[in-house]
Structure 1
Amino acid sequence: MALWQWVLDNWVLVGTYLYAAVDVVLRLVSLILVPRNRRPGSALAWLLAIMALPIVGFPLYLILGKAQLPRRRRIKQRDVTALMHERAVDIPDSALDEDVPSWLQSAVRLNRELGAFPLTGNNSADLEIDYDTSIARIAADIRTARSEVHVLFYTMALDEITEDFFAALTEVADRGVKVRVLYDHWGSMSHGKWYRAMTRLLDAHRIEHYPMMPIKPFRDGAFQRPDLRNHRKLLIIDGQVGWMGSQNMIAAHYDKPSNIRRGLHWQETMVRLRGPVVSELNLLFATDWYYESDEQLDEKTLVTAPQDTSGSYECQVVPSGPGFVLENNLLLFNQLFYNATRSIRAVSPYFVPDESMLSALITAARRGVEVELFVSEIGDQFLVFHAQRSYYSALLEAGVRIWLYRAPTILHAKHVTIDDSVTVIGSSNMDIRSFILDMESSLMVGGTDFMEKMEEVEDVYRSRSRELTLEEWEQRPRIMQAIDNLCRLASSVV
């Protein structure tokens, strides 16, 4: 009793010593805990944050420092990956031509090892870069459905631009087509009344739908950091027609008043597919459906014989995300960058590479490869925009040409073309979030005709951009340099 009274009488002194003790303990524990199985840059950034203010930094690390799904969900991932390997056996493999470079053959083997899917031949692929036209074409494809429509978008909302898309879904559902819809919980829910309008419409027509990666921290029996997201964009009709790329199902200004005031709108690239590769998209959708619904879809409806095999493109789907052991998309990009001999053309709205990717691009430019990077002149995300700017000096000094897509458009397309030999297109940005935290879908495509289509798209983007020079960049205000570098440090905290 006397001790407790003494504590009450001297609470300021006791509180000071207690705070100091906790401060020291947190610093020591973080030195052991943080560097474990973590990139050096990320570990240093977290340690700096914790050492600066342990009482705040350490709890943040416990919430956001683990880029891993809960154990129960990882077990699901292993089961699904094994199932994908088993089911993908029914998708015919395509042999690469003999004159294809050996590095491309090794990329195909790498993708098969990482993501389970084979290289398929006899595929058709068309590109669409007009925002509203892509939605109209998707709606038209949906209306041809006879049995199933599978829809997965990071962001989905019912607004004046997407209403025909949702009208198409409800029309086919009402005539007996099975429609399954997935959307990222945070990516869609954050759009308020347009999200609620969408869910009400889907419910009214008895369309089965689920939010992906719902923000329920202990849903799978262990804490899951809230910013692990499903960023994929996929749509499959009857297992015969597939769409994928960078575009979400929402108006081009994302229904945000701030974007409308600034005149911001998004520029996208989508690819429409026919042929055996559509079954790979269907299998990938089925994995996410299983995660959220616990329903395993029938293989007979997922892997179907393609009705159109007139195409000449070789395609391979590459999934990635926190459910995989390795960073599939990063490994593929780096493999291609290090083996490029003539050209690299990279389009990414959020370019925050890790050390390995930055080194791969700089090395390629230094050894004579023509490297072009397409990014936006302005940004919609302060931290990422300024973090990516911090890499421009090193890239420009190495000889990389940087094209700034003119404001007020945000270039949101995501694709890479290597040596006029292969393209990777999909939902994956070239940033640490896409490598570690987001579930992504990429498509590797080979074929001379498709490369010509990609060059036409890149020519359009180049015509709408201005080239950033090293001289111009070195003259930017010092305060902007400081902000860029500070944001680069913060972006490493993953």
Structure 2
Amino acid sequence: MFSGASWWATALLLIDLTIRVLAVIIVPRNRRPTSGMAWLLAIFLIPYFGVIAFLLIGSPKLPRKRRKVQSEINAFMREVTAEERHEETHEKNPAWFNSLVKMNATYGGLPLLAGNSGQLLGDYEQTIKAMSAAVDNATDYVHVQFYILSSDATTNGFFESLERAIARGVIVNVMLDHWASRGKKYYAATKARLDTMGASWTLMLPLKPLEGKFQRPDLRNHRKILIIDGTVGYMGSLNMISRDYNVPKNIKRGLKWQELVVELRGPAVATLDAVFISDWYSETGEVISAGVRRDELVASGEHLGRISKALIDHNTEAGTMLIQVVPSGPGFERENNLRLFLGLIHAAQKRIVITSPYFVPDESLMYAITSAVARGIPVDLFVSEIGDQALVYHAQRSYYEELLRAGVNIYLYPAPYILHAKHFTIDDETALIGSSNMDMRSFGLNMEVSMLVRDAGFVAQMREVEDHYRELSRPLTLEQWMEQPLRSTVLDNLARLTSALQ
């Protein structure tokens, strides 16, 4: 006969065996092999903690209700088009570029549009001042969307411009990511200020389980978008917060964030606005058009399609740039940004220059980059010399040896700056800029927005930025890297393993 202790031991053994068998069946399904293996390793080595972690963050999907809304948003994106301009933009492009545009439209729904102009802004405080000045010129509406939005000494001028806009009758709609913003110093004061000024605002991906608002906790809306009257837009890497993020440890270390933002004019502003409108609809269920909240449209059964084609009609041509806005994130069936990155790297024939603050690539991206070097294409990678997130920083470092041995030129942007800009160029006429890092979080978990550009003049602007980085940065050699102490290598490799837990 079994004793009580024996029964417990047998039961625990059966539970453990059941967990392992179910894990082998459930975990690898529709998941990258590297991610599946990392999760299985976690569950097998620490079964109970591993299972709890998998249940909390193992699914990269939005909740079913939000996926249903996202399906309507994706249909809206496909409707936001102007066929006559769409066709004209393809005539002089190389075949590879047009095929990428088609892929982006298939996955992200937005067209390539001609007649745009863009100006790069790299100075942190001056960028915020430029945004504030644009808001001061608003006559109809302002759409504000930032991963992190905080009212502090650095951003006070921007908030004052919003207050002035509302005072003169301009509609101001604001979105900020819940989890990213809530941990910042002035979160409560920021919400109170938005209320006091009379802005219409909402949290993105709120974690409020008691209100029925819950999803995987680390799914985030990482986009940074500002639209004024549908004719001027800003997008890039900058969060609306102090350059040190008001974090004591950052202040103690003297850290300062270095960003890059594009000021955009022309028809493509409308497609950037479409991303904002779709996110607003996803969070509130409200349809907004031309700055007017359209509650009556929802009540009457109208939907986003009602405003789709009208978005582009009021935009006039402003330059020579061909632009396609590419949204990505867990609401889409494919990793839109990763596929675009891969397509551009494989298409490059002359040079590739990549800037990414958090460079934790998957196998396909590593193969693409190292294969480009093998094809004779020079590849420059700009990353920060120091990191603000230990786990990501060490995971990133674990790839340096392989990249250096392949012939990639790695440049370390100097401390105390965190090079937070996210962009890259190929050859002489194609560039990409946006909110997306080159890591597995941005590929699968974050809602991101990127802007594909075909224009020699804009690439020339990007080259000036890249040259400036190169002047400031320290080239990393394989000889220097191999002198790293063993403890650093161990930390890097452990962090690399955890990066695959998606």
The normalised TM-score by structure 2 is: 0.93
Identity %: 47
Structure 1: unaligned runs, 5 residues or longer: 1-5
1:44-193 to structure 2, matched below 5 A, reads 44-89=37-82, 92-93=85-86, 95-96=88-89, 98-192=91-185
Q: How far apart in 1 are the matches of 2:454 and 2:320? A: 9
Do 2:265 and 2:318's aligned partners in 1 also have CA atoms closer than 8 Å?
no
Paired residue type of 1:391: Y
1:250 aligns to what?
A: 241
Q: How far apart in 2 are the matches of 1:352 and 1:91? A: 40
State yes or no: 1:24 paired with 2:32.
no
How far 1:307 moved relative to its partner? 5.7
Do 1:239 and 1:302's aligned partners in 2 also have CA atoms closer than 8 Å?
no
1:209 aligns to what?
A: 201
2:498 aligns to what?
A: 490
Distance 1:403 1:218, change over 3 A: farther
Secondary structure of the equivalent of 1:384?
helix
Paired residue type of 1:417: T
Do 1:123 and 1:314's aligned partners in 2 also have CA atoms closer than 8 Å?
yes
Paired residue type of 2:457: D
1:371-382 to structure 2, matched below 5 A, reads 371-382=379-390
Secondary structure of the equivalent of 1:318?
strand
Secondary structure of the equivalent of 2:85?
coil
Paired residue type of 2:125: D
How far 1:91 moved relative to its partner? 8.4
How far 1:92 moved relative to its partner? 3.4
Among 226, 230, 243, the alignment partner of 1:239 is: 230
How far 1:11 moved relative to its partner? 5.2
Secondary structure of the equivalent of 2:8?
helix
2:301 aligns to what?
A: none
Paired residue type of 2:249: S
Secondary structure of the equivalent of 1:423?
strand
2:473 aligns to what?
A: 465
Secondary structure of the equivalent of 1:380?
coil
How far 1:167 moved relative to its partner? 0.5
2:424 aligns to what?
A: 416
Do 2:219 and 2:446's aligned partners in 1 also have CA atoms closer than 8 Å?
yes
State yes or no: 1:479 paired with 2:487.
yes
How far 1:285 moved relative to its partner? 0.4
How far 1:96 moved relative to its partner? 3.9
User: Which range moves more in the overlay, 176-185 or 72-81?
Assistant: 72-81
Distance 1:220 1:31, change over 3 A: same
Q: How far apart in 2 are the matches of 1:256 and 1:402? A: 29
2:446 aligns to what?
A: 438
- Write the deviation string for residues 259-286 of structure 1: whole angstroms up to 9, x where unpaired: 0000001000000000000000111100
Q: How far apart in 2 are the matches of 1:362 and 1:72? A: 41
Q: How far apart in 2 are the matches of 1:115 and 1:97? A: 18
Distance 1:218 1:17, change over 3 A: farther
Among 360, 365, 385, the alignment partner of 1:357 is: 365
Secondary structure of the equivalent of 2:327?
strand
Structure 2: unaligned runs, 5 residues or longer: 290-306
Do 1:156 and 1:250's aligned partners in 2 also have CA atoms closer than 8 Å?
yes
1:38 aligns to what?
A: 31
Do 1:414 and 1:427's aligned partners in 2 also have CA atoms closer than 8 Å?
yes
Do 2:80 and 2:110's aligned partners in 1 also have CA atoms closer than 8 Å?
no
How far 1:103 moved relative to its partner? 1.0
Tell me how large the CA RMSD over aligned residues is. Answer: 1.8
Secondary structure of the equivalent of 2:24?
helix
Secondary structure of the equivalent of 1:92?
helix
Do 1:277 and 1:316's aligned partners in 2 also have CA atoms closer than 8 Å?
yes
Q: How far apart in 1 are the matches of 2:79 and 2:99? A: 22
Do 2:270 and 2:312's aligned partners in 1 also have CA atoms closer than 8 Å?
yes
How far 1:18 moved relative to its partner? 2.7
How far 1:53 moved relative to its partner? 1.3
The normalised TM-score by structure 1 is: 0.95
